[in-house]
């Protein structure tokens, strides 16, 4: 009997599972892995209150709403939302209406890094398109006992990676606000999407249907930066994220973010970070 699963759960109407995973020691060392998962159909007074468990849990609210108390915050997860919690911290979740949700208890060497990235702004509620949400697929694999450790790990990695990528795209949107003219919004949207490529003022002005001179003047008036400065700040911002979130070499990050060469990248990075090079910046965050 698992001590973390209550024997009696008031408000539990029916469930699919619970499905346990027999994870090998090798998988625990190298992969993401599942402890158990399932699908619940519940109503009030369903409630779970945990003080500590060495795992992470991710929920997908299929229908209804779930209430959470976590990190000193109380929040509600609506239908089709995804919630990620660290069970080593006290957490409580409950419902006030009929709700259907799926869940996975899981862990892995790199999971804490994903968790920190996804919750760095105390944001615990996420959204994904259905085709990117692999929670149902993971549960089905364990239900049918048709999976191996690597397949489950890949599905978990795709899930967490998709959440990180969506958060990244959403974070870029703060550059594009409704106060900007449509011409400037088009240019900013293009920069945000193509910052890894070579971008010129001429091409941006063409997208904005403005002359290069007038476009540059208007862009700086509304953003506070020239198009070149805006692009550089965005590239450096993305480089910081990759330095912290990945183990990529400095050269790979430089190339990925669109810098001319690695020496150019290091010089610009240090200039904008008080003399701190990319390597020293990375070390300061580990």
> How far is Cα 109 from Cα 112, in angstroms, rounded to an integer?
7
Structure tokens at 121: 């702004």
Residues of the chain with pLDDT under 50: 176
pLDDT digits (tens, 9 = 90+) for 47-84: 999 998 999 999 999 999 999 999 888 889 989 899 99
Residue with tokens 């089905």: 140
Q: Helix %, strand %, coil % for the chain, to 5?
A: 45, 20, 30
The pLDDT of residue 174: 53
Q: What is the rounded CA–CA span in Å between residue 58 and residue 34?
A: 11
Closest CA to 199 of 231, 238, 225: 231
The pLDDT, as a whole number, for residue 44 is 96
Cα–Cα distance measured from residue 104 to residue 23, given in angstroms and rounded to the nearest whole number: 14
All structural domains of the chain, each given as residue ranges with its CATH number in brackets, are 12-172 (2.60.120.280), 178-284 (1.10.10.60)
- In angstroms, rounded to a whole number, what is the distance separating the alpha carbons of residues 173 and 234? 12
pLDDT at 235: 93
C-alpha 148, offset from chain centre: 25
Residue 22 pLDDT: 86
What pLDDT does 180 receive? 83
* Residues in contact with 146: Cβ distance below 8 Å, sequence separation at least 6, in sequence order: none
> In the prediction, which pLDDT does 199 show?
95
**Distances from the Cα of 145 to the Cα of 86, 108, 139, 140, angstroms:** 26, 21, 10, 8
pLDDT at 171 (0 to 100): 62
Q: How many residues does the chain have?
A: 286
pTM (two decimals):
0.63
How far is residue 129's CA from residue 126's CA, in Å, rounded to a whole number? 11
Predicted pLDDT of residue 161: 92
> Among residues 87, 136, 91, 94, which one has the least CA distance to residue 115?
87
pLDDT for 170 equals 66
Q: Which token pair is 217? A: 């003047």
Token pair belonging to 69: 């108390």
pLDDT at 172: 58
What φ, ψ does residue 210 adopt, rounded to 5°?
Answer: -130, 160
The confidence score (pLDDT) of residue 1 equals 56
């Amino acid at each position: 009997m698992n001590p973390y699963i209550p024997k009696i759960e008031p408000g539990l109407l029916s469930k699919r599972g619970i499905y346990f995973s027999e994870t090998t020691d090798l998988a625990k060392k190298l992969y993401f892995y599942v402890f158990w998962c399932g699908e619940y159909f519940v109503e009030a007074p369903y409630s779970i209150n945990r003080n500590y468990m060495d795992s992470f849990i991710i929920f997908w609210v299929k229908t209804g709403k779930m209430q959470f108390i976590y990190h000193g915050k109380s929040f509600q997860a609506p239908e089709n939302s995804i919630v990620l919690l660290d069970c080593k911290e006290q957490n409580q979740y409950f419902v006030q209406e009929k709700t259907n949700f799926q869940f996975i208890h899981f862990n892995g060497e790199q999971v804490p890094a994903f968790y920190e990235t996804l919750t760095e702004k105390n944001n615990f509620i996420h959204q994904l398109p259905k085709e990117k949400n692999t929670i149902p697929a993971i549960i089905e694999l364990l239900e049918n006992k048709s999976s191996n450790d690597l397949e489950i790990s890949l599905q978990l990695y795709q899930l967490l990676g998709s959440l990180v990528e969506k958060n990244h795209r959403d974070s870029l949107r703060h550059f594009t606000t409704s106060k900007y003219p449509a011409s400037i919004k088009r240019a900013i949207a293009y920069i945000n999407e193509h910052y890894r490529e070579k971008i010129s003022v001429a091409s941006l002005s063409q997208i904005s249907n403005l002359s290069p001179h007038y476009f540059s003047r208007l862009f700086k008036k509304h953003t506070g930066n020239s198009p070149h400065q805006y692009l550089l700040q965005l590239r450096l911002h993305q480089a910081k994220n990759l330095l912290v979130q990945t183990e990529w070499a400095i050269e790979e990050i430089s190339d990925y973010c669109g810098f001319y060469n690695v020496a150019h990248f290091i010089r610009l990075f240090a200039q904008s970070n008080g003399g701190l090079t990319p390597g020293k910046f990375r070390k300061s965050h580990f």
